């Protein structure tokens, strides 16, 4: 006589193997709902123990109560995993209360304290699970989710059918367990399909978010770049299912200032990395090892004998272990063969990365690298445009303002838009005169009154020489283009192509939309002075007195030279 129900044994083994399988899937995917699915299958296999043994081996008493409670916990686990799968919130307190209520229900029903069987509540839990999957299937247009919802409806119906089978006449002695086996197999297959559908949607969603990161419009000089890099890091961690990471970026210059953003790590990690220049070492180490490095089992000294010879690596390894990390992945951020940062990912377990995952990490690193490179180029282009605008604005002011104080103020305000001019001055020196006159002087953003000081061997950053009219300019014979053809000028300045703007175009550009300005002083270009008293003879004499050669001769005659000494 057999004491085992073959169909129930198959159901028990199938549920247990599905639990083992989803534990493996969880280790690969690191999604919480997968672990709860595995727990639900293990609990379901425990429930089938009651049906597997018949005759004198059939469980009863407390074993039967625990068996029924295991089924209720399995249904609750399926419902919780469905909510996590659909990205809904889950209250641990409510789950614990429902589990406790199921325990009381399983104990009270055999004693007739409750008239409604626990199977009815379990069926309701299966129906609610089906509702969650059906809504998610409609939302994501996923056929696997909808079919999985139908499977849970069938499972709940079968459970009620098992409980009331004795009252169904022709079905009272029928073996319905094969139908449960079919539902179990179909449910396991559909769950696997749902996992990969969800994985595909998640990767597409996060890759799209990564490609739309607004790095190109953020400023490298301000704190906005920190926010954008943090968003990029969060997206990468979500894609690869890793809890901790850091993004190290150099602002266009591998030797310049760095930005370090961390997620899942202590602030002390970020500070220590920068204080000890470990960020530079990490960037160079990953680039030296090929742009992609996977360091597994950091806790074992024998794995890192070669790198342990380097003091920075020992320091970094100690810091990572202190953060509870056992596996580290480093990906170089590069564009056009230029490395300017790295992506550091860490996980607390000894995780193996499959080749497709490594290719995905490389693609993410290149995508972030290209985004940062494009952002840097846009910033540089914007800066060049601003520089040109300021130069044009200063040129317009020089041509339209005769009041020197207003002119100097405008020069200072325009320069402040482009450079750090917390210390700035404009000084005049007339050869043959004993003093230097400071017409505008800013010291540590504080405006100083006008002053003069004796001319001597001092360093002056900005020096404007007073000519007949306006600012002293080189003589025509001292210009690069003097006596040379266009091709010769192009070769001298190292340009690929050379073009000129004629005087009429310059006047038109400076006039812009202000048609009230009729004329400009273009004497430095045309030689036509508005005063009418500047003759060619005067300009020739001025050339002899003010040329660079004449000034150099006077300096030698006076036995003086420029020295870099503090200004009193």
Q: pLDDT tens across 409-424, in order?
A: 877 887 777 676 677 8
The predicted-structure confidence for 322-349, as pLDDT tens digits, reads as follows 888 888 888 888 777 677 788 888 888 8
- pLDDT bin (cut points 50, 70, 90) of residue 86 is confident
The one-character DSSP state at 481 is T
Cβ–Cβ < 8 Å for 360, 241: no
Cβ–Cβ < 8 Å for 184, 15: yes
Least reliable range by pLDDT among 113-127, 185-199, 549-563: 549-563
> H/E element holding 548?
helix 548-558
Q: Give exposure, 13-44, as e/b (b: 16+ Cβ within 10 Å).
A: ebbbebbebbbebbeebbbebbbbbbbbbbbb
User: What's the pLDDT score for residue 537?
Assistant: 74
Of the two residues 307 and 44, the one the predictor is more confident about is 44
Q: From the centroid of its chain, how far is CA 335?
A: 16
The one-character DSSP state at 167 is G
Cβ–Cβ < 8 Å for 18, 78: no
- pLDDT bin (cut points 50, 70, 90) of residue 558 is very low
Cβ–Cβ < 8 Å for 8, 35: no
How many Cα atoms sit within 13 Å of 41 on the Cβ side?
Answer: 23
User: What's the pLDDT score for residue 96?
Assistant: 92
Of the two residues 367 and 211, the one the predictor is more confident about is 367
Cβ–Cβ < 8 Å for 290, 274: no
Of the two residues 28 and 117, the one the predictor is more confident about is 117
The predicted-structure confidence for 117-167, as pLDDT tens digits, reads as follows 888 888 999 999 999 999 988 888 888 888 889 999 988 888 888 777 666
Residue 366 has pLDDT above 70, yes or no: yes
Cα–Cα dist 458/453, whole Å: 11
Cβ–Cβ < 8 Å for 73, 99: yes
Cα–Cα dist 279/253, whole Å: 14
Residue 497 has pLDDT above 70, yes or no: yes
Cβ–Cβ < 8 Å for 475, 547: yes
- pLDDT bin (cut points 50, 70, 90) of residue 88 is confident
pTM: 0.50
Per DSSP, the three-state class of 252 is coil
The predicted-structure confidence for 428-478, as pLDDT tens digits, reads as follows 877 777 788 888 888 777 888 888 877 765 544 333 333 445 555 566 666
Per DSSP, the three-state class of 249 is strand
Please report where in the chains the tokens 């004491």 appear, as a residue. Answer: 3
Query: Which residues are CB-contacts of 445 (< 8 A; sequence separation ≥ 6)?
Result: 422
User: What's the pLDDT score for residue 80?
Assistant: 93
């Amino acid at each position: 006589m057999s004491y085992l129900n073959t169909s129930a044994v198959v159901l028990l083994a199938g549920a247990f193997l599905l639990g083992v399988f989803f534990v493996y899937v969880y280790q690969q995917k690191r999604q919480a709902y997968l672990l709860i699915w595995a727990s639900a299958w293990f609990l379901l296999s425990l429930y089938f123990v009651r049906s597997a043994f018949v005759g004198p081996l059939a469980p009863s008493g407390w074993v039967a109560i625990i068996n029924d409670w295991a089924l209720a916990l399995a249904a609750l686990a399926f419902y919780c995993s469905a909510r996590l799968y659909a990205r809904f919130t889950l209250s641990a307190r409510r789950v614990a209360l429902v589990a406790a209520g199921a325990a009381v229900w399983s104990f009270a029903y055999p004693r007739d304290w409750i008239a409604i069987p626990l199977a009815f509540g379990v069926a309701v839990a299966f129906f609610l699970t089906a509702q969650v999957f059906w809504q998610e299937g409609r939302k994501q247009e996923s056929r696997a989710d909808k079919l999985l919802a139908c499977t849970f409806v069938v499972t709940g119906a079968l459970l009620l059918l098992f409980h009331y089978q004795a009252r169904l006449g022709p079905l009272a002695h029928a073996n319905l367990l094969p139908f449960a086996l079919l539902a179990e197999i179909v449910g396991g297959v559909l769950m696997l399909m749902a996992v990969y559908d969800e994985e595909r949607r998640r990767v597409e969603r996060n890759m799209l978010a990564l490609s739309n990161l607004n790095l190109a419009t953020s400023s490298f000089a301000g704190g906005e770049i920190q926010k954008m890099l943090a968003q990029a890091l969060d997206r990468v961690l979500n894609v690869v299912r890793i809890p901790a990471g850091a993004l190290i970026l150099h602002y266009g210059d591998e030797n310049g200032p760095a930005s370090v953003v961390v997620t899942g790590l202590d602030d002390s990690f970020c500070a220590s990395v920068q204080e000890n220049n470990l960020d530079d070492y990490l960037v160079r180490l990953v680039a030296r090892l090929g742009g992609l490095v996977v360091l597994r089992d950091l806790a074992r000294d024998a794995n890192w004998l070669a790198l342990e010879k380097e003091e920075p690596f020992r320091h970094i390894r100690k810091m990572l272990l202190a953060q509870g990390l056992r596996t580290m992945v480093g990906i170089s951020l590069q564009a056009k063969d230029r490395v300017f940062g790295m992506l550091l990912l860490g996980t607390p377990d000894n995780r193996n990365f499959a080749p497709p995952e490594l290719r995905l990490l490389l693609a993410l690193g290149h995508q972030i690298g290209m985004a940062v490179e494009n952002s840097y180029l846009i910033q540089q282009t914007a800066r060049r445009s601003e520089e040109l605008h300021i130069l044009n604005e200063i040129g317009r002011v020089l041509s339209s303002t005769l009041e020197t104080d207003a002119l100097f103020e405008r020069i200072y305000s325009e320069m402040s838009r482009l450079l750090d001019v917390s210390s700035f001055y404009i000084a005049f020196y007339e050869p043959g005169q004993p003093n230097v006159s400071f017409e505008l002087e800013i010291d540590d953003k504080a405006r100083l009154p006008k002053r003069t000081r004796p001319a001597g061997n001092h360093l002056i950053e900005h020096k404007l020489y007073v000519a007949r009219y306006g600012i002293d300019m080189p003589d025509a014979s001292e210009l690069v283009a003097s006596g040379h053809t266009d091709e010769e000028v192009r070769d001298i300045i190292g340009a690929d192509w050379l073009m000129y703007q004629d005087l009429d175009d310059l006047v038109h550009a400076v006039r812009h939309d202000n048609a009230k300005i009729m004329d400009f002083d273009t004497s430095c270009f045309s030689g036509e002075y508005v005063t009418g008293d500047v003759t060619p003879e005067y300009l020739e004499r001025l050339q002899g007195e003010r040329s660079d050669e004449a000034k150099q001769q006077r300096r030698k005659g006076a036995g003086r030279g420029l020295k870099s000494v503090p200004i009193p």
